[in-house]
Amino acid sequence: MIGSASCGNKRLHNIQEVAEFICEHGRYDDVCIRTEDGFELLGTFGIYINKISDMEYREELLKVLVPMQHEVENTAFSDDEDMDETEDMDMTM
């Protein structure tokens, strides 16, 4: 499979690599995963699957992807909280 993102393309060999690609590049833009012959397997909206052509593949991918998505979400929320604390400190000074 080939993962396509705004930074370029990458050859992906298994579900783990597809999930990692989605979570890494989906933070910045939508991504597309295609088969070797150019057939679009899935497209994302950020780190979330927006469309997918193979429901069996979807079930297997979600087993790996969902925990990674939770990690990305938790990281994003903890970064937001850190920024809020910094902003609160700036306002009191």
What is the extent of the structural domain holding 53? 2-92
Q: Which residues of the chain have pLDDT under 50?
A: 86, 89, 92-93
Per the structure, how many domains does the chain have? 1
Q: What is the DSSP string of 33-86?
A: EE-TTS-EEEEEETTEEEEES-HHHHHHHHHHHHHHHHHHHHHHHHHHHHHHHH
Check residue 83 and give its pLDDT. 52
Check residue 56 and give its pLDDT. 97
